[in-house]
Amino acid sequence: MGNGVDPDVIERCKNGDRLAQKAVYDSLSSKMFAVCMRYMGDRDSAADILQDGFVTLFTKLDSYSGEGSFEGWARKIFVNTALMSLRKKDVLKQSEDVEAAWNVSSGDPTPIQNIGYQELCKMIAALPPGFRTVFNMYVVEGFSHKEIAEALEISETTSRSQLQRARALLQNKIKERF
């Protein structure tokens, strides 16, 4: 299967085997925590989403057919859990409010060769939640603007503008660093 989780362990989880559930948790928790961090931006919120995501994963385990990657199936659960939390907080409205406080310009892209992965991740995590959410969905997860609009219950135009604003803020942060 090539997904890091033994199909027999998944079957045992479906039957409520606690040791199998722990094995799935141990196998996926660090990768899924990274997914949660990308969307939530802070460790405490990410930990909450990680916990909620595992509850959902084990509750919906019977819906996993065995087709495709188990890790990919699980990743969708964690992304959706984070998105539901962000929707409840109405982060896109907050991003609109924050826009006026930022001097956002969309000049020419700045090369980022001198910025390390960890530093770039910190910059992304520091984006306002709505910007960060759309940026992660589009750039990292590969969602289309149509898919983002449907998932977040916004228009495609709003998705595009949130992405543009996120990119502009990141460019400004990179320029400030140099």
What local confidence, expressed as pLDDT, does residue 106 receive? Answer: 46
What's the total number of domains in the chain?
A: 2
| Per-residue pLDDT band at 10 (split at 50, 70, 90) | very high
- Tell whether 2 is covered by a domain: no
The answer to whether residues 116 and 73 belong to one domain is no
Owning domain of residue 151: 91-177
**Of the residues 64, 88, 112, which one is the last residue of a structural domain?**
88
DSSP string, 28-46: HHHHHHHHHHHHH-SHHHH
- Tell whether 142 is covered by a domain: yes
- Taking the C-alpha atoms of residue 85 and residue 132, their distance in angstroms, rounded to an integer, is 14
The answer to whether residues 97 and 53 belong to one domain is no
110 CB neighbour count, 10 Å cutoff: 14
- Taking the C-alpha atoms of residue 2 and residue 27, their distance in angstroms, rounded to an integer, is 13
Helix, strand, coil content of the chain in percent (nearest 5): 75, 0, 25
The answer to whether residues 84 and 119 belong to one domain is no
Distances (CA, A) of 2 to 5, 6, 52, 67: 8, 9, 25, 12
Once rounded to an integer, what is the mean pLDDT over residues 1-20?
Answer: 83
pTM: 0.66
The answer to whether residues 80 and 111 belong to one domain is no
Query: Can you list the alpha helix ranges (DSSP code H) found in 41-155?
Result: 43-59, 70-88, 91-99, 117-125, 129-135, 145-152
pLDDT per residue as tens digits for the range 91-114: 655 554 444 444 444 454 444 555
